[in-house]
């Protein structure tokens, strides 16, 4: 596995591999890696000749400076994990590499970016678009891999590459959970042992809501989930939306074939997200 920090070295290596006819798979991350990230890396390794992973905590997608500063950074541990997962190239860019000058671009992301995270974190997805378009222009991957835990982000990235004619195939990968159901997240590192136990209520409630949909309306399930999660000490729901998984717009009944429930919960100061797919005839 080769490790890079300079753009010129990364592009030279990728150009060489591309000239040999190699396919390039890319896993963009913010580091602080866990098994969820590694599942993306392993899929990337399996489907491409070359797997490159970057780890860059992107400042433009944080609208909370304290959250950005506290985001875990574990470079040495990340490199070891990536080598074990079979990554070929690892890139740890600096902020001056990605943003040699302030990025003032504003992206047209449409209605997908106006709900849920877009509503509660203004500018977040524009920051995601800024960094990804920059990374894609440097790496020029054939495929790029994203986790479904960030469900809205995945939908927006797919729309973005289509809208801006970026020649990359976006591959979504399933949520990876701990044995007890907690969705893996880099932010879990910030939870105390007690908070982690409280956080289990999030996934348990989402899974339980699959049965509730058989007897409750969409609005009733929505209110039940919020009440259940809020009843756990230390948890506060920021939002829970039951939406069309393609348009991300709220649904009013269960007749839609593609429904997702997306939740964001504060566990103390730590902001956790999760989601679940609702299917008829479960």
CATH number at residue 79: 3.40.50.620
For the chain, the domain total comes to 2
Q: Are residues 15 and 134 in the same domain?
A: yes
Task: Decide which of 152, 173, 194 is a domain's last residue.
Answer: 173
Catalytic residues: 37
Task: State the pLDDT at residue 282.
Answer: 46
Residue 89's H or E segment, with its range, is strand 89-91
Q: Are residues 75 and 121 in the same domain?
A: yes
Q: Are residues 130 and 235 in the same domain?
A: no
Domain housing 143: 2-173
Q: Are residues 196 and 152 in the same domain?
A: no
Q: Are residues 159 and 19 in the same domain?
A: yes
Task: State the pLDDT at residue 279.
Answer: 86
CA distance 109 to 130: 12
Q: How many CB atoms neighbour CB 193 within 10 A? A: 6
Task: State the pLDDT at residue 281.
Answer: 59
Task: State the pLDDT at residue 11.
Answer: 98
Low-confidence ranges of the chain (pLDDT < 50): 282
Residue 239 included in any domain: yes
Task: Decide which of 142, 173, 204 is a domain's last residue.
Answer: 173
Q: Is residue 252 within 8 Å of 218, Cβ to Cβ? A: yes
Distance from the first to the final alpha carbon of the chain: 44
pLDDT tens digits along 24-61: 999 999 999 999 999 999 999 999 999 999 999 999 99
pTM attached to this predicted model: 0.95
Q: Is residue 131 within 8 Å of 98, Cβ to Cβ? A: yes
- Could you give the 3-state DSSP secondary structure of residue 105? coil
- Nearby residues of 211 by Cβ (< 8 Å), 6 or more positions away: 282
Q: Is residue 152 within 8 Å of 116, Cβ to Cβ? A: yes
Residue 179 included in any domain: no
């Amino acid at each position: 596995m080769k490790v890079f920090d300079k753009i010129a070295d990364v592009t030279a290596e990728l150009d060489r591999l591309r000239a040999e006819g190699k396919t390039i798979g890319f896993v963009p991350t913010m580091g602080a890696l866990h098994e969820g990230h590694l599942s993306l890396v392993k899929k990337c390794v399996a489907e491409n000749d070359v797997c490159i992973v970057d780890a860059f905590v992107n400042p433009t997608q944080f609208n909370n400076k304290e959250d950005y500063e506290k985001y875990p950074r574990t470079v040495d541990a990340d490199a070891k994990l990536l080598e074990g997962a079979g990554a070929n190239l690892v890139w740890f860019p600096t902020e001056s590499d990605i943003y040699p000058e302030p990025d003032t671009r504003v992206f047209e992301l449409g209605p997908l970016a106006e709900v849920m995270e877009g509503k509660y974190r203004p500018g977040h997805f524009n920051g995601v678009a800024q960094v990804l378009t920059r990374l894609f222009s440097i790496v020029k991957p054939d495929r790029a891999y994203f986790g479904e835990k960030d469900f809205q982000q995945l939908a927006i990235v797919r729309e973005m590459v289509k809208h801006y004619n970026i020649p990359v195939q976006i591959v979504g990968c399933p949520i990876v959970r701990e044995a007890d159901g907690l969705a893996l997240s880099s932010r879990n590192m910030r939870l105390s042992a007690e908070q982690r136990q409280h956080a289990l209520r999030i996934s348990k409630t989402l899974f339980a809501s699959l049965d509730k949909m058989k007897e409750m309306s969409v609005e009733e399930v929505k209110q039940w989930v919020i009440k259940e999660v809020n009843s756990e000490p230390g948890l506060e729901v920021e939002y829970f939306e039951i939406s069309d998984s393609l348009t991300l717009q709220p649904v009013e009944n269960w007749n839609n074939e593609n429904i997702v429930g997306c939740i964001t919960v504060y566990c103390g100061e730590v902001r956790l997200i999760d989601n679940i797919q609702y299917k008829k005839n479960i």
